[in-house]
Amino acid sequence: MHALARALLLMAVTLGTAVSAPSQSAAPQSKEVNATGTVAGRVTIAGKPAANVPVAVMPDPQRTFNGRFVGSATTDADGHFQISHVPAGRFYVIAAAPAFYYEGEKSGYQEGSLVTLAEGESVEDLHLALRRGGVITGRITEETGRPLIQEHIYLYRINPQTGAHEPYNRSYTVSATDDRGVYRIYGLPPGRYLVGAGRPVGRGNVSMGTGSSYYRQTFYPGAADETKANEVEVTEAGEATGIDITLGRAEKAYTVIVRVVAGDSGKPLSGLRCGYSSVAQGGRATASAIGPETNADGQCRLEGLVPGKYMAILVLTNDISAAANRSPTSPQAADSPANYTYDPVTFEVTDSDLNDVEIKMRAGSSVSGTVVIEGMSEQEAASHFRELNLSVSVAGTPPLPRFNRPQINADGSFRLGGLSAGKARVSISTYPRRNFKLLRVERDGVDLTQGFDLAAGENLAGLRLVVGYGTGVIRGEVKFADGPLPEGFHASIQARRVGDTTPQFNFAEIDGRGRFVIEDLLSGEYELIVNVGRAKPVTKTVSVTNDGEAQVTLVLERAGNNNQ
């Protein structure tokens, strides 16, 4: 479920007692010192005022893990709401009305209204236009007529422009059957849908420990192939009933025994967690499922696999102290699993269990060095190292999952082990904030930012990672030269720092008023690029300084307009 959908569900529960209150009573507002902004507007249903609807200001999920709302209120008898003490930033304003959809969803996905606020700014005319959603309901049974309980329902919306079948996850309904085998999905925008139940086979899905049998996915009314499924038409406030699906006979799910051994001696290795990934066309691994740890014989048991192509994987830990407590046949503290690597093994499940899948562990290569944050003292930098995620990718090798990210010590030193040989490249990421950016990778005065060769078993030391810390902001507005922005306006803008050898693009959405904010920027010159539908592309260069805020206005010309 989408992050905002989950937050809306929480908000609906939290404010449940407020729904009956015919006022604009607000839940606790933001406690930030500079939270002086206001968001006000109205909620309508089919064009009429909607009273007693909880409304909340939610932080942009791309900027924070915090799902708590910034402020909330309940609409009055005329559908009006006002939420005060809103800090500067980018937010979504959402209405807790799960049985309704936003009018913008007629042509595409929308959940709430994006608002970009400056400090102390007020938005007075926000309009959340809702309409009653449609319903799809039916019953899932097996071929004997027995109802299937807690059977997951798969819903795909047919894109009206491309015809593609897109998984639809907005609905707040728990998409599973009840004790009668009945499901009911509501709040759906008008359109055409496909409905399915049962385990997908060959679609990149994985599921660990789901039992010794499964029902193969079937689409309404009884098609094994989604291209032969009947479309379900959903209308505003309409109800598509009798969308029943009978699943075929339960089929056997299979068990795969994976054995993990030391590559040099063949001895079994215990205490290593194993799993598997589904393999798509071209050999690319997709979804993964994690299973148990290997036993004293180096074996782990993967259950509930359906026919398909898979890749056996290990989830290695960087926790050396945990490795020290393992059995004599497991890698010890000096030889932590963090220092080992392996080649993932592919296998195919057809019509029987497998017990001959073997993974051979071997000592991996490693890189080590120090991290330096430009413009920061050693003490200040040490307080930020925990925010950085270090990783090394090796060309031509799949990324291997690991528990616990590599640790950067207080003095900036680091070590990443368990690497394969090949062309390696270091990267740094931070989330949800993106203040930190890797500027250079150096060794003995040589620039290795674009990568370096790493030999098998090599321990490459002396890397110096130079990281920049950006606090600059670009705040601006997009306008049309010949008139106001169209209703339902939606676009994005990107900023690229001029002169970077490795371009790093910063994106931001533009709200319905044409406002945008791009944060966490390093000092420098940035090229702004905005593309809006049929308007002529616009670019503009702006200077940014750390702790500074640059203001900019971009004026768009509609395509075909010759006025300059």
In degrees and rounded to multiples of 5, residue 394 shows phi and psi of -120, 125
Q: Would you call 383 exposed, middle or buried from its count of C-beta atoms within 10 A (0-12, 13-18, 19+)?
A: exposed
Written as one letter, the residue type at 406 is P
Domains plus CATH for the chain?
Answer: 3-132 (2.60.40.10), 134-251 (2.60.40.10), 257-362 (2.60.40.1120), 365-469 (2.60.40.1120), 472-556 (2.60.40.1120)
- Residue-level pLDDT at 324: 33
The answer to whether 154 and 217 have CB atoms below 8 angstroms apart is yes
In degrees and rounded to multiples of 5, residue 103 shows phi and psi of -55, -30
- Residue-level pLDDT at 210: 63
- Residue-level pLDDT at 115: 92
DSSP string, 108-157: S---SEEEEE-TT-EEEEEEEEEEE-EEEEEEEEETTSPBPTT-BEEEEE
Residue ranges of the chain with pLDDT lower than 70?
Answer: 1-34, 62-68, 105-111, 170-174, 202-210, 282-283, 285, 317-337, 399-406, 432-433, 559-564
**Distances 168 to 133, 154, 250, 278 between C-alpha atoms, Å:** 14, 8, 26, 22
Beta-carbon neighbour count of residue 487 at 10 Å?
A: 10
| Predicted structure pTM score | 0.80
3-state secondary structure of 78: coil
Q: What is the CA radius of gyration of the chain?
A: 27
Distance CA 456, CA 420 (A): 7
- Residue-level pLDDT at 375: 87
Distance CA 55, CA 72 (A): 6
- Residue-level pLDDT at 206: 67
Burial 526-555 (b: 16+ CB within 10 A, else e): bebbbebeebeebebebebeeeebbebebe
- Residue-level pLDDT at 486: 82
CB within 8 Å of 514: residues ≥ 6 apart:
477, 478, 479, 485, 489
Pairing of strands 436-443, 446-447: antiparallel
Q: What percent of the chain has pLDDT over 70?
A: 81
- Residue-level pLDDT at 10: 52
- Residue-level pLDDT at 202: 66
Q: Which one, of 357, 374, 377, lies nearest residue 440 by Cα?
A: 374
Give the ranges where 250-343 is alpha helix by DSSP (H).
Answer: 320-324
CB within 8 Å of 454: residues ≥ 6 apart:
365, 367, 394, 419, 420, 421, 422, 423, 424, 460
Q: Which one, of 55, 34, 24, lies nearest residue 117 by Cα?
A: 34
Q: Which one, of 212, 208, 222, lies nearest residue 274 by Cα?
A: 208
